[in-house]
Structure 1
Amino acid sequence: MKFLDEAKVHLKAGDGGDGVVAFRREKYIEFGGPDGGNGGRGGDVLVEAVDGLNTLIDYRYAQHFRARKGGNGAGSDRTGAASDDVVLKVPVGTVVLDEDKETVLADLTEPGQRAILCRGGDGGHGNAHFKSSTNRAPRRADKGYPGEERAVWLRLKLIADAGLVGLPNAGKSTFLAASSAAKPKIADYPFTTLHPQLGVVRLNATEEFVLADIPGLIEGAHEGAGLGDRFLGHVERCAVLLHLIDGTQPDPVEAYRTVRAELEGYGNGLADKPEILALNKADAMTPQARTSRMKALERATGQAPALISGATGDGVPELLRRLADAVARERSVRAAAPA
């Protein structure tokens, strides 16, 4: 299934049904009277987060959703039927934005969470509504009120506990495959992941967390270079970032600064998240190169990076333990925070 994390849809709630003009015509009822009923309410358009979905591909081909109009009123004071709602089912983690792509209308982070995007119109009044002691035979009936109409953007932000960031070919996919059951594309030639990948890391029977791998960043990504920074939204919800650096490149410090600059340029609090630094591809470095590059990174970042090899698994269990501890700390902080 193709991964799609953004889609624009056009929504129209149902119009209200029309009220009617009607009068009683019964034997032995000398004067009769108005008995036109009101129109029914038009259907709403809602969005609901459901389990079992991980892409917005359904909204690539169906982009217009319209609820039905409410039923018209009828004689004998009969109110028109209300129309059914239209429910858009989306993956957990979907954010609904207004057409300006900035105003957040709904943020669906739990299964079953719902939000009304367009409200249906109320039904119009029939002439029975307007009868009074001075107006005994009203011939007025109102049309139904129009339902709301708008275009919205659906943007998926994957729910993950930890996120992988780094330049292309830093070994993020290899690390994800080595630490989880995910099977991202891995090859012995340079390429970059095109779509985010999720993997569940299980340390033991009781400890696990979700790790997200996003396409690599390049210089100028926050300005649209390469794939841009559109996939950084998938690590906005992470408790901790794992910054992987390719140890085989000549200047790992510059690689670190490039990615940090893109995180700061993207904003949304990414640059302030807890970060664990790891120098990858230890199996492809000489002992002298390992030592010099580890010291250079520690001087530049103020923290001692982990030395790992995603290909051989060296240092990976210890790094996963650090990630799990960071995720657990963040979960406890969130649980203790007031609602």
Structure 2
Amino acid sequence: MKFVDEAYIDVSAGDGGAGCVSFRHEKYKEFGGPNGGDGGRGGHVFAVADENLNTLVDFRFSRRYDAQRGQHGMGSDMFGAAGDDITLKMPVGTIITDAETGEVLFELLKPGEVITIAKGGDGGFGNLRYKSAINRAPRQKTPGWPGEKRNLKLELKVLADVGLLGMPNAGKSTLITAVSNARPRIADYPFTTLHPNLGVVRVGPEQSFVVADLPGLIEGASEGAGLGHLFLRHLQRTRLLLHVVDMAPFDDAIDTVAQAKAIVNELKKYDKKLFDKPRWLVLNKLDMVPLEERAALIKDFVKRFKYKGPVFEISALTREGCEPLIKAVYQHISAQQKIESAPEVIDPRFAADVDPI
């Protein structure tokens, strides 16, 4: 299925049905009184987060969604039926934005989460509503209220704990294949990966995390060069970035340090918050480096790159060094989750300002 992470749609909730003006007509009931019912409400438009979807491609082919209008009120005290609601299934991680103002309206972050993106109009009042002691034969009614109409932009940001970034052919797809259940396309030419791939990494019983493999970045990506800039948004929800570096490039003239610095600069240009995320260095393809040369090569790279964070030496192809990397990543993510879920601690100096329960 084609991966689509952006779409525009028009949604219209149903209008409310109009109220009815009617009077009871029955033999021997000369003054039967008003019996016009209210109109029914218009149908709502809902959105539900479906964990089985991972693309917005369905909304590229069908852009307009209209809920049913409410039925008009009728005589004999009969109220109109409500219009049928419609529910749109969207991937988890979808951001719903007003296409005209750019305001973010909703975010679908939990599987099964349901939101109302357009509310149906209420039904109008029939003359039965206006009956009173001084107005025994009312002829007033109201039309139904219009339903909400919106032009929406849908933007998908995948929900992953870890994001892989690096130059094309750095071995990111091979790494996600080695550590997870993902099976992306792998080949010996640049830009093999054309869309994000998600994989679940199993560390132990009930211990796992999600990793995202993105198309490779090149210098100038933040200005539109290459493919990676189209998918950098998918790294914004990750807790950790793994910067994968090819330590055995096919051309000896390639400066791996310059390439690694270019990736970091592109992150900074694209989004400062993304640049400030925890970022670990993963030196890949060491199986292609002679054993006696590895230590010196790694030391020289780290020194020239001026990197002081965690460094992992791996070979994704042979899975050498992958196990320690997986365990360290899981420990980091677990610690972050505990921090995010910890209750807010109230400063005792301001405890008196808290209302007692």
Which bracket does the TM-score occupy, shorter chain normalised? Answer: over 0.9
1:118-143 alpha-carbon deviations (Å, 9 max, x no partner): 11011111122233444332323222
Range with greater deviation from structure 2 (9-18 or 266-275): 266-275
Aligned to 1:295: 300
The alignment status of 1:257 with 2:261, answered yes or no, reads yes
Q: How does 1:61-140 map to 2 (within 5 A)?
A: 61-100=61-100, 102-140=102-140
What is the one-letter code of the residue matched to 2:334?
A
Q: What SS does structure 2 have at the residue aligned with 1:38?
A: coil
Offset of 1:102 from its aligned partner?
3.9
Greater shift, 32-41 or 284-293, is seen at 284-293
TM-score with structure 2 length normalisation?
0.88
CA-to-aligned-CA distance 1:272-312 (integer Å, 9 cap, x gap): 22111111111233544762454332451223522211122
Q: Which deviates further from its counterpart, 202-211 or 78-87?
A: 202-211
Question: How do 1:19-34 and structure 2 match up within 5 A?
Answer: 19-34=19-34
* Alignment length (residue pairs): 339
* In structure 2, distance between residues paired with 1:144 and 1:68: 13
RMSD over equivalenced CA pairs, Å: 2.1
Q: CA offsets per residue over residues 182-235 of structure 1, 9 Å max, x none? A: 211111233331011111112333432111101111222222222252312222
Q: Secondary structure at 1:257's aligned position in 2?
A: helix
Q: Which amino acid letter does the alignment assign opposite residue 266 of structure 2?
A: E
Q: For residue 77 of structure 1, give the secondary structure of its aligned residue in structure 2.
A: coil
Encode CA deviations 1:87-106: one digit per residue, 9 max, x unaligned: 11112222212215842211
Letter matched to residue 270 of structure 1: L
Q: Please state whether the residue corresponding to 1:301 is helix, strand or coil.
A: coil
Distance 2:193 2:326 in 1: 22
Could you say which residue in structure 2 is the equivalent of 1:55?
55
Question: What one-letter code is carried by the residue in structure 2 that aligns with 1:307?
Answer: E
Deviates more, 1:39-48 or 1:181-190: 181-190
CA distance in 2, matches of 1:290, 1:225: 34
**SS of corresponding position for 2:204:** coil
Structure 1 pair 313/296, CA: closer, same or farther in 2 (3 Å)? same
| Counterparts of 2:77 and 2:295, CA distance in 1 | 85
Distance in 1, Cα, partners of 2:192 & 2:120: 46
Matched to 2:129, the amino acid is H
Secondary structure of the equivalent of 2:210?
strand
Q: 1:205 to 1:138 in 2, by over 3 A?
A: closer
The alpha carbon displacement at 1:338 in A equals 4.2
Structure 2 residue 348 is the aligned partner of structure 1 residue 335: no
The percent of aligned pairs where both chains have the same amino acid is 47
Using the size of structure 1 for normalisation, the TM-score is 0.93
CA distance in 2, matches of 1:195, 1:100: 28
Q: Where in structure 1 do 4 or more consecutive aligned residues deviate above 6 Å?
A: none
Who is 1:314 aligned against? 320
Gaps of 5+ in 2: 346-357
